[in-house]
Amino acid sequence: MSLSTNFQPLYKQVYDRLIVRIADGYWKPAAALPSEFALAAELGVSQGTVRKALNQLVAESILIRRQGKGTYVSEHTQESSMFRFFRYREAGGEDLIPITEIVDVERRIATDREAKKLNLDKQLDLVQVTRIRSINGKPAIFERVLQPLAIFPGIDKERELPNSLYTLYQEKYNISIVEVRDELQAVSLPADIAAHLNLAADSPALMTERSSINIDGRVAEWSQAYCSTDNFVYSVSLK
Amino acid sequence: MSLSTNFQPLYKQVYDRLIVRIADGYWKPAAALPSEFALAAELGVSQGTVRKALNQLVAESILIRRQGKGTYVSEHTQESSMFRFFRYREAGGEDLIPITEIVDVERRIATDREAKKLNLDKQLDLVQVTRIRSINGKPAIFERVLQPLAIFPGIDKERELPNSLYTLYQEKYNISIVEVRDELQAVSLPADIAAHLNLAADSPALMTERSSINIDGRVAEWSQAYCSTDNFVYSVSLK
């Protein structure tokens, strides 16, 4: 298919092509992209069109530019991934890195609701990782992370799960989480979860349901987290 | 002062100059900016430097570009402002426009905590607007909005407050809210607020504290909102 046979703006078509190359792992995390000149020649478009597509990818943090060096595929290092998507803070406080303890890893069938959240057919196999995240030595967050085995084959066999799962997803499963969609509610804490967080049952807690979106636009992971807000807040800036 | 006497990158100095012009109302909302060529000549920098500063302002939604027409100062229309900063939804639902009912407007002195949140000296005068926002006919949010009189002189004399206060701020007080910073917690609903929302006292509720940031980087407004999450969620996308 030539680049000009559909009705999207040309730069958007170039953008889509480049996204697919990154999603497919043709360009790996941290890889340098060819020059604008070389890309323009290869794709048969102007250098300005290539630049516009690259600008968009940089704005979305999928690519990064290094002054005088070139354009690279973003890496999700432990830290950058943490700071970008980990939104719990002590009230008015600084960015905090949580310490993570794995409670349990099990393989099971998705419930109807989970399958819907993950855009999966019913009854697909998934891995549920249960973990507790502590901030400044205090257990703060009880979390269940669901990983479809179709997307993460054999992930329940990983010997060690890192603090930031997204790094693992990118390095071993070619899944690059570029967006998360959070829905927050206040709930009364179920007794079993309250015990893990050293809180009384029925304490008010923040419940976050998160869909993690792969670079190809699909939901790759879905999670549910309960957070005591006696000491912590969910902090976000909207621009 | 010449543009080149400090150590910031040149485009950042141009960016700062342009921000001040917008913040000062030299360019009003919806105004067209001069061409890149004209700005470059006026400021004694290259057109590429001007473009870089403009790109940044467009990325921050302070300016907008219209294909083939030019670059304009963003307007906060009722709708765009709503969709950008109003984050409550029915779970899994579409964007919703709330209906707002003003309960009370009073002039009072800031508490120490409020003064700190607003970066004000102690005991400064402010206006407190208490309002209830309904979604699909259900009272959903009880909100107290604090407006320092130093920033919004005489705002308690406004005869009618619009659904989106930010539009009023921009049109009458030259305050352009370009960012909000939210901190969310789960709380037990105080009895007086629960009554306004048709809920039982001590129901778990989401409490959002919001700092609204003017284009000059200062906090212009601070608010506290309680939301029942029986029917609603706070929804946000992070990229």
Contact check, Cβ <8 Å, B229/A187: yes
- Sign of the alpha-carbon torsion through B225, B59, B23, B159: negative
Q: What is the mean pLDDT of chain B?
A: 86
Q: Cα separation of A139 and A145, whole Å?
A: 17
Q: Cα separation of A206 and A186, whole Å?
A: 5
Contact check, Cβ <8 Å, B181/A234: no
Chain A within 8 Å of B1 (Cβ-Cβ)? no
CA nearest to A39, candidates A49, A28, A50: A50
Encoded tokens for A104: 């349990």
Rama region for A137: left / alpha / beta (φ>0; ψ in -120 to 50; rest): left
Q: For chain A, how long is the longest CA-to-CA vector?
A: 64
The predicted model gives A173-179 an average pLDDT of 88
pLDDT at residue A191 in the model? 95
Closest-CA distance of chain A to residue B176, Å: 12
Cβ(B148)–Cβ(B129) under 8 Å? no
User: A6: which residues sit within 8 A by CB, 6+ positions away?
Assistant: A13
Closest chain A residue by Cα to residue B178: A239
Q: What is the pLDDT of residues B179-238, one digit of tens each?
A: 899 999 999 999 999 999 999 999 999 999 999 999 888 999 999 999 988 878 999 988
Encoded tokens for B37: 């060529």
Contact check, Cβ <8 Å, B178/A61: no
Of A61, A204, A235, the CB nearest to B204: A204
Residue A200 has pLDDT above 50, yes or no: yes
pLDDT at residue B92 in the model? 63
Q: Give which of B55, B85, B96, B183 to mutate to test A binding, by max A Cβ within 10 Å.
A: B183
Closest chain B residue by Cα to residue A9: B67
Q: What is the pLDDT of residues B95-133, one digit of tens each?
A: 667 788 999 999 999 999 999 999 887 778 999 999 999
Q: Cα separation of B129 and B145, whole Å?
A: 5
Closest-CA distance of chain B to residue A228, Å: 8
| CATH superfamily membership of A91-234 | Chorismate lyase-like (3.40.1410.10)
DSSP 3-state assignment of A51?
Answer: helix
Of A227, A229, A239, the CB nearest to B60: A239
The predicted model gives B153-159 an average pLDDT of 91
How many Cα atoms occupy the beta-carbon half-sphere of B65 within 13 Å? 12
Residue-wise burial string across A30-53, b where 16 or more C-beta atoms lie within 10 A, e elsewhere: eeebeebeebbeebebeeebbbbb
CA nearest to A56, candidates B238, B58, B11, B83: B58
Burial bucket for residue B65 (CB in 10 Å: 0-12, 13-18, 19+): middle
Q: Cα separation of B134 and A225, whole Å?
A: 27
CA nearest to B227, candidates B129, B78, B90, B81: B90
Contact check, Cβ <8 Å, A234/B183: yes
CA nearest to B228, candidates A228, A204, A93: A204
Write out the DSSP string of B109-127: EPPHHHHHHTT--TT-EEE
Identity of the residue numbered A20: V
Closest-CA distance of chain A to residue B84, Å: 8
Closest-CA distance of chain A to residue B109, Å: 23
How many Cα atoms occupy the beta-carbon half-sphere of B72 within 13 Å? 13
pLDDT at residue A79 in the model? 54
Q: Cα separation of B11 and B51, whole Å?
A: 8
Between these two residues, A5 and B176, which has the higher pLDDT value? B176
Burial bucket for residue A94 (CB in 10 Å: 0-12, 13-18, 19+): exposed
Cβ(A169)–Cβ(A147) under 8 Å? no
pLDDT band at B173 (very low <50, low <70, confident <90, very high): very high
Q: Cα separation of A34 and A58, whole Å?
A: 15
Between these two residues, B195 and A7, which has the higher pLDDT value? B195
CA nearest to A106, candidates A79, A127, A134, A84: A127
How many Cα atoms occupy the beta-carbon half-sphere of B198 within 13 Å? 9
Write out the DSSP string of A1-14: --TTSSSS-HHHHH
Cβ(A144)–Cβ(A223) under 8 Å? yes
pLDDT at residue B4 in the model? 40
Q: List, in sequence order, the alpha helices (H) in B86-207.
A: 112-117, 165-173, 191-196
- Residues, chain A: 239
E strand or H helix that includes residue B146 = strand B138-148
CA nearest to A182, candidates A235, A111, A113: A235
Residue-wise burial string across A98-114, b where 16 or more C-beta atoms lie within 10 A, e elsewhere: bebeeeebeeeebeeeb
Proportion of chain B in helix, strand, coil states, percent, rounded to 5: 30, 35, 35
Task: Specify which residues B147 forms β-bridges with.
Answer: B127
pLDDT at residue B93 in the model? 66
Q: Where in chain B is the domain with CATH 3.40.1410.10?
A: 91-234
Of B61, B204, B206, the CB nearest to A239: B61
pLDDT at residue B5 in the model? 43
CA nearest to B234, candidates A205, A85, A208, A230: A208
Q: Where in chain B is the domain with CATH 1.10.10.10?
A: 10-73
Chain A within 8 Å of B198 (Cβ-Cβ)? no
pLDDT band at B1 (very low <50, low <70, confident <90, very high): very low
Q: Cα separation of A92 and A231, whole Å?
A: 11
Contact check, Cβ <8 Å, A183/B229: no
Residue A158 has pLDDT above 90, yes or no: no
- DSSP state, residue B227: E
Contacts of B234 in chain A (CB under 8 A): 183-185
Is the domain spanning A10-73 CATH 1.10.10.10? The answer is yes
pLDDT band at B94 (very low <50, low <70, confident <90, very high): low
